[in-house]
Amino acid sequence: MKDKSKGSTSVYNLIERYDYEDTELKKDGSQASRIYHNYREYFEDVRRKFNKIMSISGQMDGVIDGVVDASNNVKEATLTIADGAQDQAKDVSDCMIIIDRIVGKMDDLGVISDDMDNLAHTMNEENSEGQKIIDELKESQERNIEAINSIAGEIDKLTKRMDEINEVIKLLYGITSQTNLLALNASIEAARAGEAGKGFAVVAEEVRKLSDESRNTSETISEAIGSVTKDLDELKKTLDVSQEVFEGQSDTVNKVTDTMNGIHDSIDTFVNKQREFRDDVSVMMDEKDSLLNSIDNIHQITENSSATTEEVASLTMMQDNSAAMLKQMARDLQKKVTEMDRVNSHIKVSLDEDRRKKIAMMWDIDVPFWNPATEEAKKTAKILNFDVDIFAPKSRGEAGAKEATEFLSKVNSNEYDGLVISPVSGRNVDEQVKRISSEKLPVVFLQSAIDGVPYVSIIGTDNKECGRNAARSAIKLMGGEGEAAIGIWSDSKMDAIEDRAAGFIEEMGKTAGIKLHKFAVKSSPGNDDVNRIVKDLLAEHPDLKLIFTTNIDWGAEMAEYLRLHSEIDLKLVTIDFTKEIIGYVRNGQISAAIAQRPVLWGSTPLEMLNKVYDGDRVEKTRDTGTYEVNAGNLDIFAKRM
């Protein structure tokens, strides 16, 4: 019980006990009263300033934690860049060696090109000469055929003349026979005439002799004509055979001519192409020096860049050391301030201090994905001098909605200054948030809003674009063709999940070579769900190449299943990136993870609420974007996890 006496002794007793909480003690002009009030004003001022120092010290601790974390991340990123720059410098050096070899080959190619050009000209000239010889052969062949046809005609004429001569000889045979008969009759008549017919007998004998000679001559002529006719027949047969041969040769010559014409056209094309090739080689030779200069410049720039990144890495390490020292100084300051508070705790003053803002923050489920947001929210709360109460349901569905409702009911019944929430599906949840909003508490939504609830801002990912990005990764992994499948929540609805699915389906539909199948899944996978679903999918779609899961729970479960069943050749694309996902990406069970930036969802809402309290304007929506994590870039992002 405080001593309310106005006596000097009582006042000195209060001063002796460092008790300056008596606000009813009036200033009466006495020395004790003046001393008491002077001390009270002094210690109240000290306490106010000391409390401010303690607050600033706490805020500084939060800021420095952020600086140290950022410094560590920058250091890791800078070291990665430095390593990459060194590798790049080595690669460029290797490229210089390869380019030198290529340039040497280009010089050889230039010589070969000139030789080929000369050879092409020679081929063209020889082809023209060959074409000329073929044309002459064709003309000679045509003349030979004409000569053979002429000889055949003459033989036909001779054969006809021989036939006519044979007819004359036949006539002579008849005359000779008649003459012989006449001579015989004349001899008989001369014999009958006796002496008077002797002279006539001599004439008859001479006629007979003449007839015999004429017959013999006719026979000789007939035999000669028969022999000549036979020879003419043989000659005719030979000419007929020769004509067939010449006609065959003529066909062959025509074919050779056509072939030579084709060869001539091909050689003309070859010559033209060779000239183009020679011109291209000439251009390459002209640009060779420019290429060498460009590569040399790149090499110099890369060397300088490598040196610069090494210097930046050194400076970053120094910055990291300075940040560590700053952190230690902040810890020491905090310790000293706490110590001073303990030392001065016996000094009692009565102060009307401003109450710290108290913010309720609720994630949609208690999973590792939200850990970065939780840590960042705690650091930001230190900096802004807020108290934060962070909650997340242990499960989804009805049980999760019940947990969320109970937490929001507590927010409704206690003194809170704001709500940051990633909505959980459920009618009671919606009603509780509407009630909170009706109390004029500012609400910041993460990922999606609740219909009919006024809000300060929506912070998160453009989930349709997130789904589209996942589809682009899937299309690239599939080479633009094949069959893919997407899991669609069947037992619970969440705008973010549905938007991801819609964006994925929309983007995949733009590629004609890909067929997309949809399959129903629960919002939270059970023990046997993955096994059953994959078996059913592969049984119905044996050519399935890729599966897309719209949230990390299903991504992790699918990845674990694929790890245990390495014989199944399926690519997996999922959303979000956590420590658990790193191993699955590294080992190939997850081909691509489309990562969000939940770390910003811990700090940005508190910064926006602080602006609201200060009367500043805030943006209605903020997209924190996504990025792809795969085996190629995993090491860069894994260092920050």
- Ramachandran quadrant class, 365 (left: phi over 0; alpha: psi -120 to 50; beta: rest): beta
Q: How many CB atoms lie under 10 A from the CB of residue 3? A: 15
Quickly state the pLDDT bin for 2 (edges 50, 70, 90): very low
What is the 3-state composition of the chain as percent helix, strand, coil, each rounded to the nearest 5?
A: 70, 10, 20
Identify whether the C-beta of residue 416 lies closer than 8 Å to the C-beta of residue 358: yes
Q: What percent of the chain has pLDDT over 70?
A: 73
Identify whether the C-beta of residue 25 lies closer than 8 Å to the C-beta of residue 6: yes
Place of tokens 């779609």: 541
Place of tokens 């201090």: 353
CA–CA distances in Å: residue 608 to residues 83, 383, 448, 601, 604: 38, 14, 16, 11, 6
Residue pLDDT, tens place only, 177-202: 777 777 777 778 777 777 777 777 77
pLDDT score, position 144: 72
Least confident of 97-106, 434-443, 616-625: 97-106
Average pLDDT on 424-436 reads: 92
Whole-angstrom distance, CA of residue 633 vs CA of residue 641: 14
- Residue 602 in this model has a pLDDT that exceeds 70: yes
- Residue 260 in this model has a pLDDT that exceeds 50: yes
pLDDT score, position 322: 60
Which among 464, 474, 446 is positioned nearest to 593, based on CA atoms?
Answer: 474
Q: Which residues contact 603 (CB under 8 A, 6 or more apart)?
A: 376, 377, 379, 380
Q: Which SS3 state, helix, strand or coil, does residue 235 take?
A: helix
pLDDT score, position 163: 75
Whole-angstrom distance, CA of residue 517 vs CA of residue 396: 25
pLDDT score, position 89: 58
pLDDT score, position 52: 64
Whole-angstrom distance, CA of residue 471 vs CA of residue 502: 11
Residue pLDDT, tens place only, 393-422: 998 888 999 999 999 999 998 889 999 999
Residue pLDDT, tens place only, 99-125: 666 766 666 666 776 776 677 677 667
- Residue 4 in this model has a pLDDT that exceeds 70: no
Dihedral angle over CA of 388, 391, 392, 398, nearest 10 = -140
